[in-house]
Structures are given as structure tokens and as C-alpha cells.
Structure 1
Amino acid sequence: MVDRDDLRQQLHDAFEGANYPVNSPMDLVPALPNGPATTFESGDVSFTAMELNAQASGQQSFPYDSVDGLVDDIMGGLEEEGYFDEE
């Protein structure tokens, strides 16, 4: 089971160093410790930043002025993709 709070924190930590505002996913790459290969893991779920972009992109609405709005939309996209079990 995915720990939403843990995953949210990982995303926040990874993307907070971006130079905001960001206008596209490519603007986020320099902030990632391992670039597009940066991995996010929680419970039995693991994906790279590149996979994350593909899976959650339907919820992203660039540009973003802050990390919080970006992370909120990524989490929304993951929820729509069924990553979080109903509790």
C-alpha cells in the first residue's frame, strides 16, 4: 500500500529546488538528484520521474509558481491512475 504522506514528501523534496515558475516538465529535471531516473518509492510502488511524468501528466497544468501546486496535481494524477487504495 502506498503511503500518501511519504510519497508527497518525496515529491516535494525532489521538486522544491526547481527554479519556479516552471513552464514544462523539462524545467524540473535540473532539480532532480538523478535527473529523469530519480526514483520515488512507497510501499509496493516504485517509479522514475520519467514514468511519473507519463502517468500523472493529465493532471498537470503548467506553468507552476510553487512546488505545492505541482505536487498537488501530481498526487491527483496518481490518484486518478489508481495508485491509492480506497481506505
Structure 2
Amino acid sequence: MSVKEEIYSQIVGALEGASFPIGNPEDLFAAFPDGADTTCKSGDVVLKASDAGKVLTGDDFPFKSAENVAQTIVDRAGL
């Protein structure tokens, strides 16, 4: 599994119990188990939920699924 696939899978897993759609960054952070401190790791790559705030824009919302969140984050993070 590539780094991108592993991080994607971890994000989807972290958002497993989240209620969608998610309409803003605050609600997205709240949906993660450890909030903005939720961390995904693959090899030397460490990605915190708070890092998502650096790559997401208001136009990305609302998110309709965990997969939508994960795909947007891994694409924008350049993984």
C-alpha cells in the first residue's frame, strides 16, 4: 500500500462515525476522534487533522463523505 493509500485509509477510518454532510472546518475537526490533533502516519509521513486546515478552502465544503474528505486532503497534501 502506498503512503497516499495508507493515509487515505486512515482518514476514512478516523471519520467512520462522523455525520455527513460536514459544512465547515470546525465541524470537520470535531468529527475526528482526537479533534485537530488526530494524526495519520505512514512511514516518515505524519499528517495531523490540523494540517487539513492548511490545504482546504471554504469552497471544499460541504463534504458529503469520509472518502470525499480523504481524497481532497491527500490530493492537496501532495502525497
TM above 0.5 = yes
> How does the TM-score come out when normalised to structure 2?
0.80
Cα RMSD after superposing both structures: 1.8
User: Which structure would you say has the larger Rg?
Assistant: 1
Q: Which stretches in structure 2 are left out of the alignment for 5+ residues? A: none
The answer for the alignment partner of 1:38 in structure 2 is: 38
Q: CA deviation at 1:70?
A: 1.7
Q: CA deviation at 1:38?
A: 1.0
Q: Which runs of at least 4 in structure 1 moved beyond 2 Å after TM superposition?
A: none
- CA 1:51–1:43 in structure 2 vs 1: closer, same or farther (change >3 Å)? same
User: Quick one: higher RCO (CA 8 Å, sep 6+), 1 or 2?
Assistant: 2
The answer for the alignment partner of 1:48 in structure 2 is: 48
The answer for the alignment partner of 2:24 in structure 1 is: 24
User: What is the number of residues matched between the two proteins?
Assistant: 77
Matched, 1:71 2:70: yes
Matched AA of 2:20: Y
> How does the TM-score come out when normalised to structure 1?
0.74
Q: Which stretches in structure 1 are left out of the alignment for 5+ residues? A: none
CA distance in 1, matches of 2:66, 2:46: 21
